Chain A
């Protein structure tokens, strides 16, 4: 194999598993170290630059970073990355002074943003400092999109959301709330230089089975019902509640129902428990609130007596998998079962819907009624119109919407400045030795053995009686510190310099996780992977191959389970190994260099 090109920033970026997995590529280990050092404000600002809503995400993020976390490959559980973010948000001092300070000199360009969810708000934040005049439209009375209308206050207090939405609105955004955009044609006819569509995926799926019409008064589409609760149009529900669906929306519905008077709330889902879409922690939280989850039950009909909903009938099924692993739900043949219900909340899916976009504007839609959007630039087939967030490719999550927002902002800026859309901004990268002295590094290289800490929760009696009482209390500073110390500092890279190596094997012998091997080279990567001290079976992780050494061998390091403990560098007599702190940050429009 050819030597690894470590000059390509993507090589080391990939080693930082969490950051790489984060759609917005938040420099996770960097902020975790700052939390351990008690520098909460700095930790918050690192987050704010990348993910715009640290307080919101520290409570609600889907956390794609955690399953990716290296610690999960050597320890029972990954680092509680998400909840550490909250520690930064909870303990920060004034952060506003570190944010771009308006008013900004206008650049003469005007952009409309449809929908005030995280995607549009991110575009607004990234473009405002450049002097864009930004007009933000939303049919709701406040900004935040689904973060406000869907995520319940017991998971995300309104104050936290308000604070972070306002940091953006305070940059001088022109808001048009309580205003539904009913025609894109009309919007385009105004003098906007570009339009960003961040209208989300606002249509909840209905359930077409017998009795549905008659049940209407007590049948609610989950996301509409949650919005009604959030905006206080709804404040109660029946005692017996059935929630249909197995995703996170179902979890929010059932837990909200428990707080509005639902005593006997059940989640009933078609799929087996293990295959439900909801995150494991969401399921746990629901069950902790005495909500049973009944799996393998397919809804068949509503039972109506004297014009009133009494409950629902379900067919029992079990999952059968074909050779390709495809699942089929097959009826068990048992009699249908009845579950009583005063109200039914339907959370079986959510779709995009663009009734307000005329089909003659040059915006191409596919057969699923989704717009054709460029994966990198977020441009639609109308050069002026860009899409992002759930509106672009269907329902995802807040952090993905934010990541889209950053890239869409780059494109909109390019478009307005006459720059090729495909000219993207290079990441900001830095690589510098962490060596401070003998046995001393600029990071806590010692690998602690602590198990993952559990986030404490408020008393159930309290939280179930008050819809707005936040359930999670967050880590206190001490626990935050201890959890932060579990981070393996994967951004402190092991950097190898062939010319210094005397092939003494010390690094190979000392490495606790058998990452390093000196071996003959092989043509094929798959062969070389098998020639290592421990075969490098995890193909998602790269191997780091050196140039040929004097004995004609190469150094090969399997990145998979490296603990970044620094022992290789510590035991290397010639500093052929060095631990070097790698910083990688996605460049946003407002942080890039705009001076000529």
Chain B
């Protein structure tokens, strides 16, 4: 029986600023199929949180239903978590976020969970610019229920039984840009070098940060003819730029050729450093992001990397002018300000 993770770790694991080694961010051993792309994304999340010195108890994992939505069990065992109903993660996230604005909200969903049953919730979370990370582990099928085509399966893509999908796919990234999401990225589970900085920057982004990650389902959608297989994705990826996430006050040490570098400063002084930018693309310009995605699609390519970011955005709390403190920290005096305050309110309504 080998399905037990040993207690031992590499004896020289480095510690992050909080004094934790990376295993402090692990979850339980995955029960997904061997080779599932989702597991790689979990590993990238673990890596990102470790590198960002996240205190696990300052983070809440939220998910719906699906193989993808199961993954919060496989990372950050020391964090909060809520595994909601199918497609309903955004409303749970909204509630939690409204009650306690101080946590990092980390939503994980699938293409079925988001683009089919959860579509209504997804679009409104974007519209509201809810401050959260929203990752879709996109495998073009309903993995958990045995691989039916999902709404992100490309037209013409073949599934495992040889059936060709007749319907146009929903492109979640362009939809998010279209709806005004303030951080939109796309990546591939097999490219941690790209995915980890995207996750790190997403956690820093003060609004809705969406990452659509192509994540092959080895069991039901990794066949020849599928546009979400490891082979197909590897042959068709194209990146907007190489990206680094640079935390506050850290010097840039790598030097790149002139003219191909751009830095996007985040609200807290950290920045996204982009190199080898593709032509006619500006990460701060929605229109160019939209064009880039569409152009890639026309060329049968999958565009990955950061697509669009508005680093100065303001989130739902700001728009609604809610309490600037988490509700659970409000004192009795703050909650019941007394009859004088009530009088003032009533007067204001007259």
Contacts and interface: CB of A to CB of B under 8 A. Distances in A.
Interface of A: 73-75, 439-441, 444-447, 449, 502-506, 508-510, 512-514, 534, 537, 550-551, 561, 563, 565-567, 569-574
B269 interface: no
Contacts of A563: 6, 8
A534 B10 contact: yes
A575 to B, nearest CB: 9
B7 A447 contact: yes
Given A73-B11, A504-B190, A573-B33, A509 B6 contact: no
B6 A512 contact: yes
B11 to A, nearest CB: 6
Contact of B8 (A441, A509, A512): A512
A540 B44 CA distance: 31
Given A446-B4, A447-B7, A502-B230, A573 B12 contact: no
B34 interface: yes
Q: Tell me the interface secondary structure of chain B in the complex.
A: loop
Contacts of A567: 2, 5
B234 interface: yes
B35 A74 contact: no
Contacts of B6: 446-447, 449, 512-513, 563, 565
A248 B117 CA distance: 75
A510 B39 CA distance: 9
Contact of B35 (A446, A504, A513): A504
Using C-beta atoms within 8 Å of the partner chain, give the interface range for chain B: 20 to 34
Q: Majority SS of interface residues in chain A?
A: loop
Contacts of A510: 5, 29-30, 39
Nearest to A558: B10
A74 B36 CA distance: 29
Nearest to B235: A550
Nearest to A444: B1
* Most central of A445, A447, A509, A550 by chain B CB within 10 Å: A509
Nearest to A513: B10
Contacts, number: 103
Nearest to A509: B43
Nearest to B222: A502
Q: Which among A446, A565, A571 has the highest number of chain B CB atoms within 10 Å?
A: A571
Interface of B: 1-13, 29-30, 33-37, 39-40, 42-43, 189-190, 192, 216, 218, 222, 230-231, 234
A445 B4 CA distance: 9
A534 B22 CA distance: 12
B341 to A, nearest CB: 55
A505 B9 contact: no
Contacts of A444: 1
A174 B10 CA distance: 55
A286 to B, nearest CB: 32
25 contacts: A73-B11, A441-B2, A445-B1, A445-B2, A447-B4, A502-B35, A502-B231, A504-B216, A504-B218, A504-B230, A505-B192, A506-B35, A506-B36, A509-B40, A510-B39, A514-B10, A534-B13, A563-B8, A565-B5, A570-B3, A571-B30, A571-B34, A571-B35, A572-B34, A574-B35
Closest 3 interchain pairs by CB? A573-B35, A447-B6, A445-B2
A23 B311 CA distance: 65
A381 B39 CA distance: 64
Interface centre among A73, A441, A573 (most CB of B within 10 A): A573
Given A74-B11, A503-B230, A567-B5, 9 more contacts: A73-B11, A502-B231, A504-B36, A505-B39, A505-B43, A505-B190, A506-B40, A512-B8, A561-B10
Given A502-B230, A503-B190, A513-B9, A570 B2 contact: yes
A68 to B, nearest CB: 16
Contacts of A509: 39-40, 42-43
Nearest to A573: B35
A566 B2 contact: yes
Contacts of B12: 534, 537
A537 B11 CA distance: 12
Contacts of B39: 505-506, 509-510, 571
Contacts of B7: 447, 449
B2 A565 contact: yes
A577 B122 CA distance: 40
A457 to B, nearest CB: 30
Q: Which residue, A73, A505, A534, A550, has most C-beta atoms of chain B within 10 A?
A: A505
Contact of A447 (B8, B11, B42): B8
A439 B40 contact: no
